[in-house]
Structure 1
Amino acid sequence: MTTDPRLAKLSLNQRTTQRWSVREAVDGCVRAGIGAIGLWREPVAEIGVPAAAKLVADAGLRVSSLCRGGFLTAADERARAEALADNRRAIDEAAGLGTECLVLVVGGLPPGSRDLAGARQRVADALAELAPYAGERGVRLALEPLHPMYCADRAVLSTLGQALDLAEAFPVQQVGVVVDTFHVWWDPDVWRQIARAGARIASFQVCDFLTPLPADVLLGRGMMGDGHIDFPPLRRAVQAAGYTGDTEVEIFNAEVWATDPDRVLATMAERYVELVLAD
């Protein structure tokens, strides 16, 4: 096991090692000397929130975030009510895991809809209901803008500026934003928006943007150094904005998922030091 102090604020997002259970991912982080883990609701549900929280605490790790809530754009009243109820459960789970950060992927257009403005308004309406509930439980809703190619089906928030326009209607302790390099690196306004975000930055996630993208563009996220993103300027920008939290590596990639997870963590740690922390 490494004791490299540079890895103290590195976090493994559990989806990067998709085949690992919570216990396996926690044990892997310990072996690799990684200080934190970002958990996903589905594997946590397999063992329950109390058991997952105990595994993390006993290992001396932090839960950097819980993924994910969101999908708040349904136009149907019943579906909307179900989404709100599920997000309240996600908030409770985050609180039980001891993380302040619940990542929200807000959702795309409802089937058959072309009403983008209406979908975005429903996100704002849902936040008005969920933000106080989250704040009372010590959880911050972290809006994650996704690359525009996901606007129709996954997230009607495509830029950090759009996410901040929504977040700023609420106390900073209730609603923040995620800065994910895969989703924001292309935006010429990203530097101004990171500075604007300041204390609202609830999570900083890194992975690379690959080309050509695979047929399933959801799986186009790569290990740092395998794509086009220049990481140090983005890392310096979030730090200059005041962010002092973990750097979470979240990769959706079939080849990475097929690789031995311990090898993935070793590569992740090496690339983090060489390519993210580089001056």
Structure 2
Amino acid sequence: MTPSTRSTSFPPRAPADFSINQMTVKQLSLPDLVTACADLGVRGVGLWREPVKEYGVEAAARLVRAAGLRVTTLCRGGFLTAVDPGERARALADNRAAVEEAAALGTDTLVLVCGGLPDGDRDLPAARERVADALAELAPYAAGHAVRLAVEPLHPMFAADRCVVSTLGQALDLAERFPAEQVGVCVDTYHVWWDDLAPAALARAGAGGRLHAFQLADWTTPLPRGVLTGRGRLGDGSIDFRAWRALAEAAGYRGPVEVELFNEALWAADGREVLADTIHRYTTHTR
């Protein structure tokens, strides 16, 4: 981090609705993240399965509870587009395990990245139907653990290899086949900001009680070579976060707002400074 990123009141205290996604500061161990959150008044944290399992799910649950932190989401389940029966069975088993991990951590929301096209497949509608078939099996299981599934649409550039659900409208079309308390959507500005139909879809999600998670990241250009790690800090790119926050609030969303940044430059910096700068930018650019 550079001095120019800092405010005169640095380090700031986090607003009550702010949540830090673990991926933003993945260089911090889970204990260090929890300590940094406590020091800066962060009340919510979105966790990822891999570092949580490495630390131990039950141990992680005890750690965050002891610090008074709320786990706002667990990332991620999904990858549900396989055609091969064995692959499909393994994916369903992994998602059931993700549901159990979410319940153990005390979060009611498991974010799903649905998966891309299998090798050699070019049938997007059929792949989305396989996602729907998987949701039909997983949604009741999740409900039995008091966990909601949040389908996250990803930018169309990820349709081939990561997520055949590219728009918020497509995500809602899937979610609305199931009860709202079982399946909803995760809205990430990085993925949907470009879509002129997204504001209406966000209102539709709110009206149906399906806006289960709301995440922020900026869109900066030129895109890096590895587009997956190209998410910009709030205020560095093209997205109007005040407008998106207003849309979410108009849709009735009153939950935590996660900042989720995949950014190699941030991962190479001091994690506590990244967290403090993220809080400052959240306060500056969303209010």
TM-score range, shorter chain: over 0.9
- 1:186 alignment counterpart: 194
Between the aligned partners of 1:134 and 1:7, the Cα distance in structure 2 is 30
Give the C-alpha shift of residue 113 in structure 1. Answer: 1.2
CA displacement, residues 197-255 of structure 1 (integer Å, 9 cap, x when unaligned):
01211111001011000111101101101111000111111111111111101000110
Cα displacement (A) at 1:127: 0.3
Whether 1:214 aligns to 2:243 is no
Give the superposed CA RMSD.
1.2
Question: Which residue does the alignment assign to 1:158?
Answer: 166
Give the corresponding residue for 1:251: 261
Runs of 4+ aligned residues of structure 1 deviating over 6 Å after TM superposition are: none
**Equivalent position of 2:7 in the other structure:** none
Residue matched to 1:196: 204
d(CA) in 2 for partners of 1:2 and 1:64? 23
Aligned residue among 248, 251, 254 for 1:241:
251
CA–CA distance in structure 2, aligned partners of residues 149 and 130 of structure 1:
27
Aligned partner of 1:50 among 58, 62, 73: 58
The residue that corresponds to 2:126 in the other structure is 118
Partners in 2 of 1:139 and 1:146 — Cα distance? 22
Contact 2:220 2:237 in 1 (8 A): yes
Partner amino acid, structure 2, of 1:160 = L
Q: Percent identity?
A: 59
Q: Per-residue deviation at 1:191?
A: 1.1
1:30 aligned residue: 38
The 5-angstrom pairing of residues 73-152 of structure 1 reads 73-152=81-160
The answer to whether structure 1 residue 223 and structure 2 residue 233 are counterparts is: yes
TM-score for both structures, normalised by structure 1: 0.97
SS at match of 1:236: helix
Q: TM-score, normalised by structure 2?
A: 0.94
Q: Is this contact kept in 2: 1:2–1:31, CA < 8 A?
A: no
1:2–1:33 CA contact under 8 A, matched in 2: no
Matches for 1:169-180 after TM superposition, within 5 Å? 169-180=177-188
| Structure 2: segments with no counterpart, 5+ residues | 1-9
Deviation at 1:47, TM superposition (A): 2.1
* 3-state SS of paired residue (1:7): coil
Tell me, yes or no, if the aligned pair for 2:189 and 2:215 is still in contact at 8 Å: yes
Question: What secondary structure sits across from 1:87 in the alignment?
Answer: helix
